Amino acid sequence: MAERVPEVGTRSGALRGVLKDGVAAFLGVPYARAPVGPLRFRAPEPAGPWDGVREAGAFGPTAPKRPYAPPLDALLPDPDIAGDDCLNLNVWAPWAGSAPLAPDPPEGGRPVMVWIHGGSLIHGSSAVPVYDGTAFARDGVVLVSVNYRLGVEGFGVFPDAPANLGLRDQIAALTWVRENITAFGGDPDRVTVFGESAGAISIAALLASPLARGLFRRAVVQSGAPITRPLAEARRTTEAVAARLKVPATAEAFARVDRERLLTAQTEVTGRGSPLTGGHAFQIVVDGEVLPRDPAEALADGASAGVDLLMGTTTEEYRLWFVPGGVVDRVGPLLQRFLLWKTKVPSRTARVYRAGRPSEKPGEVLGALATDKLLRIPLNRLADARLDSGALGGTYLYEFAWRSPVLGLGACHALELGFVFDTLALPETRALTGPDAPRDLAAAMHAAWVAFARTGEPGWRRWDPARPVMTFGPDVPSLVEAPREAERRAWDG
């Protein structure tokens, strides 16, 4: 017997999705009006109503963007779907017949997880196959994935437009979830936001934003840390794009520029930037409204202290950027020292890493320092601050250590995504993992994320003075206390 077509009612109107193996998917659902015409470079407005039943069986348009530059384009799939209605989301939910599958035992609704994709705020979308939500729905979670504005249209800084438009989009999507997710069987009081890279940086900002308060109960921060820039500093990237376009650095002027021309200028300006060496990049900013203060400071001072927080990194984040293009081999001792000086890494810290890694190349030691400076150390400090303040929400740390054989990437940035989503069988996932990634490790990691969304506990003990870190791989998951403690301590003082 053929499965029935799932339909659901939202505040804007009825949706018709697709059903397969007990999971209903509603794709390309607008949560805000298309950011075009007078709404371009403006805060998102709620989606308007529609008549009849809206078909929701295919992904909606993605935010304007360009592909990753080679060689990353072969490793990180980034679908481009044309259209103006890019402020859309997707929902996967357990389904039976014509209605959401009821929880067993009844819990007043299923846990909800909202995925915010990464991509340096200029790439990515919710249509990336690796982010398929079927496995989460299979395991009793209502999974939502979100598109938001990218690049200068999402994170440009103008004197005549609101800042942090992409972050405002995410808040609008979370508001939609709050108002509509019950219809999909979800519990609006058990929402977990999770994201990786720029998505994790976004979540750190949401944790500190008064406009996002009450929209989620738990958060997962994967390979990102609380990072923002002052308005004046962040505006330099917008001004550089304006100079390329030969227009004033105002939203009014940019709104008259053809999108393709704008993307070309944006790509030229940001193409040489990197988190380690600097250069032009789009950043979340302290704007006085969405973010009244720096998120790192706000979170250390107790913001979102009641929110359960799971966060971590891969062991070798840097290898995604340093290995495919050969950077790891081009960095010798002199260039290493120059880059460490330029990025203000203390010489005493560098000495500890060199001493502890005598067989590694200078580029690998540099990468380990960069991984820790940008990611591991800020997350450890946040965990310590929550512990010291007696935060009510639980704090848990993980590390992903399984090493991919593809191009010698090792335990690189973004490698854990196929494990979290349990999508190792997809060719788009295998581009990064290879064909023989351990399914048992994916099952364990995915189950930990599901457990965290359901109960606030991923399956290991909370952060405490012994510094417990659940390490996924290279074999079975194991709890490690204070990994690489000498290197971590080298950043103190």
Q: Three-state DSSP class for 491?
A: coil
- Amino acid, single-letter form, for residue 336: Q
**Which residues are known to be catalytic?**
197, 317, 413
The tokens describing 296, both together, are 């790192």
- Amino acid, single-letter form, for residue 97: G
Measured CA to CA in angstroms, residue 355 lies from 22, 371, 487 at distances of 54, 17, 10
The tokens describing 224, both together, are 């990102």
Q: For residue 222, which of 393, 415, 474 has the smallest C-alpha distance?
A: 415
CA 370 to chain centre: 19
CA 441 – CA 137 distance, rounded (Å): 19
CA 410 – CA 402 distance, rounded (Å): 7
The tokens describing 155, both together, are 């994170």
Enclosing H/E stretch for 368: helix 362-371
The CB density around residue 75, as the number of other CB atoms within 10 Å, is 20
The DSSP call for residue 188 is E
The tokens describing 323, both together, are 């290995």
| Strand positions, DSSP E, 218-343 | 218-222, 229-230, 285-286, 308-314
CA 64 – CA 83 distance, rounded (Å): 9
Enclosing H/E stretch for 262: helix 259-270
Backbone angles phi, psi at 440, to 5 degrees: -65, -35
Q: Please, are residues 153 and 35 in contact by the beta-carbon 8 Å criterion? A: yes
CA 172 – CA 89 distance, rounded (Å): 11
The tokens describing 308, both together, are 């359960």
CA 88 – CA 108 distance, rounded (Å): 26
Q: Please, are residues 367 and 318 in contact by the beta-carbon 8 Å criterion? A: yes
